[in-house]
Structure 1
């Protein structure tokens, strides 16, 4: 009886908890008036909170482009591992969670499992920088079209992240010194 109950509850629990991996952290909203076509292209990672899948990587970038069938966005994340002396690359896909005019997507690099990708601050005029968060306050990225951000923009994004409850003192400032290969 107990084993049967576990077999029933485990898939149900999985279905209940899975959306939490893509939702926004409490009290945070994604940008609206988002325009995917302007966001597509290459972004450099300026800073991030530490997590295992990027640990030890420098010169990290992300390239976003429409998938050939138009149903999603292809995501190519790339970074340099000094320990291995090589570039590391992973390809995934992103889909809007709801209204495509809201900068809230889900991204998958590993099969059916998605994580939240929420743009919470964006250079609305030129799309030159973005502040992106995941499903919890453990995930934060500062991205830019160039390898460096002006000091005033950097400070504005740090202030915004701090106001949203992120531990900005734990940010890793990503070296961007290697040429794109």
Structure 2
């Protein structure tokens, strides 16, 4: 019985660390260039972000070698800011854009950077553990139309339902 519970618990903890079969993390990832503030330009909606505008994510190095994550968005309905603090760690190598992130204790989910402006780190396309999770992040509140077109094309090619994309209102 104890072994069965241990197997179930391990499966639950690691169950969200996969990625869509069609998604591959970028290689040559440089964390120091990725740190700092990012604006959410587009996403597939989820309950934890529903109704939020002005969404940002900030990444910084933790003392334990991990990465601090601070997600923030404004709820117009509630007229207040919502914040979530988390932590992230590389799953394989620090040069692969494949991390696990947690906002809820021991439970981690995948954070897979599958496209990146390598010259300036000005935009990133990010997937979660399956095709229900997708984000376009940028260093600025908006991006050029070509970046959105590339994001939609690459995401659609990888099986994401881009007809459900929400374009985040930024100020």
| Structure 1 residues 133-154: Cα deviation after superposition (integer angstroms, max 9, x where no partner) | 0001000000000000100111
* Residue 70 of structure 1, CA deviation: 4.3
SS in structure 2 at match of 1:53 = coil
1:13 & 1:109 partners in 2: Cα distance?
21
Alpha-carbon offset, residue 8 of structure 1? 4.6
**CA offsets per residue over residues 6-63 of structure 1, 9 Å max, x none?**
x653431231243230121113210000000000000000011011111110000000
Quick one: distance in 1 between partners of 2:166 and 2:23? 22
Change (3 A) 1:23 1:128: same
Structure having the higher Rg: 1
Q: How does 1:9-158 map to 2 (within 5 A)?
A: 9-67=4-62, 69-158=63-152
TM value normalised by structure 2: 0.96
Moved over 3 A (4+): none
Structure with the higher helix share, 1 or 2: 1
Determine if contact 2:125/2:134 at 8 Å carries over to the other structure.
yes
| Aligned residue in 2 for 1:161 | 155
**SS of the residue aligned with 2:129?**
coil
> What is the TM-score normalised by the length of structure 1?
0.91
